[in-house]
Amino acid sequence: MKFGVVVFPGSNCDSDAYHVLKDVIGVDCEYVWHETRDLSDFQALVLPGGFSYGDYLRCGALARFSPVMDSVYRFVDEGKLVIGICNGFQILLEAGLLPGAMLPNNVLEFRCQWVDLKVENTKTPFTCLYEPGEVIRVPIAHHEGNYYAEPDVLDELERAGRVVLRYVDASGNPTLEANPNGAARNIAGITNEKGNVLGLMPHPERCSESILGGRDGRRIFLSMIKSLETGASLSF
């Protein structure tokens, strides 16, 4: 089993994701330069955080035209796992692999802080190791994380259990105060219809070791590994 961490010009959380996968968890992992077209070596891909192409024009809007993205579409069609973290989530939205769009944070500022998240669906290849309804602590760091989609799209996401992570308070309620960026219905992370693509604004790679203040994020990667081992991802 091999993970690939895609490196776009301007990615800056690529080495963090790589470190967690390779050094902390110990799974096989390689960087994938954005001009790469052959992804046949990999079973899972990380689109990391950062500022691909400087986030010029719109976050993720230029990265979706990188050569690697043609292969990412096929990768997704084949049922392999793709996780887009922060800028990676924005790229997945721009690429149409996930529905909706990102607006600037409603506070109109960059926000770097810890947030509480509720794991709303544990029947995904990314969350199968969490307890249903579990509240986890994960950092965010973004300027455009205000998730937007049309109401009927949001309804469909909710209905199909595709809202996987939601900003909540410490007791698990999706309050206004707990929402750091104005995201619709406190949405922090969603999957595609098939369930093999996850986009999330929070950074699980920043909380996978206790020395960094928490390790709640680690089980996202461990869930992916478990799903790949058991072939669960292909059952969607």
Partner 1 sequence: MADISQTAPWREMGLRDSEYELIKARLGREPNYTELGMFAVLWSEHCAYKHSKRLLRTLPTKGPGVLVGPGENAGVVDIGDNLACAFKIESHNHPSAVEPYQGAATGIGGIVRDILAMGARPVVLLDSLRFGPPDDPKTRFLFGGVVSGIAGYGNCLGIPTVGGEVFFAKPYAGNPLVNVLCGGIMKHEDLHRGGAYGVGNVVMVVGHSTGRDGIHGCTFASDVLDEDSESKRSNVQVGDPFMEKLLIEACLEMMACGAVVGIQDMGAAGLTSSCAETAARAGTGLVIDVGKVPMREEGMNAYEVMLSESQERMLLIVGSDKVDEVKRIGAKWGLHAAEIGRVTDSGNLEVLHNGNLEASIPVSLLAMGAPEYTPGAREPEYLRKTRELKDESVRTPEFSEMKEILLELLASPNIASKEPVFRQYDYMVRTDTVEGPGRGAAVVRVKGTKKGLVFTTDCNGRLIYLSPKSGAAWAVTEAALNVAVTGAKPLAITNCLNFGSPENPEVFWQLKEAVRGMGEACQALETPVTGGNVSLYNESDGVAIYPTPIIGMLGLLEDIEKRITPGFKSAGDLVAVLGKVWGDVRSLSGSEYLEVVHGMVAGDPREPDLELARGIIEVLNEGAREGVFSSAQDLSEGGLLVALAESCIHGEGGARGCVMSPKALGCGGREGIRADAMLFGESNTAVLVSFPANCEEQVSHICRRQNVPLSVIGRVQSSALAVETCGGLRVLEVPAEEIAQAYSRGLEDSLKS
Catalytic residue among 13, 86, 128, 207: 86
> Is residue 10 at the binding interface for partner 1, with CB under 8 A as the rule?
yes
Minimum separation from the CB atom of position 180 to partner 1 (A): 9
Identify which range of 39-47, 110-118, 122-130, 190-198 contacts partner 1 by CB under 8 A: 110-118
* 3-state SS class at 4: strand
**Which of 159, 176, 177, 211 touches partner 1 (CB under 8 A)?**
211
Reading the block at residue 189, the tokens are: 């992370």
The only residue of 19, 22, 215, 226 in contact with partner 1, by rule CB under 8 A: 19
Least Cβ distance, residue 85 to partner 1 (angstroms): 12
167, amino acid identity = Y
Q: Where are the alpha helices (DSSP H) in the chain?
A: 14-19, 67-77, 87-94, 151-159, 218-230
**What distance in Å separates the CA atoms of residue 97 and residue 92, rounded to the nearest whole number?**
5
Q: Is 23 in the site for partner 1 (CB under 8 A)?
A: yes
205 catalytic per annotation: yes
Instruction: Please list every residue from 56 through 75 that binds partner 1, using CB under 8 A.
Output: 56
Q: How far apart are the first and last CA of the chain?
A: 19
Q: Write the burial class of residue 20 (CB in 10 Å: 0-12 exposed, 13-18 middle, 19+ buried).
A: buried
The answer to whether 13 is a known catalytic residue is: no
Asked about 203 being catalytic, the answer comes back as yes
Number of other residues whose CB lies within 10 A of the CB of residue 195 = 23
- Contact residues for partner 1 (CB under 8 A)? 9-10, 12-13, 15-16, 19-20, 23, 49-51, 53-56, 109-113, 139, 141, 143, 203, 205-206, 209, 211-212
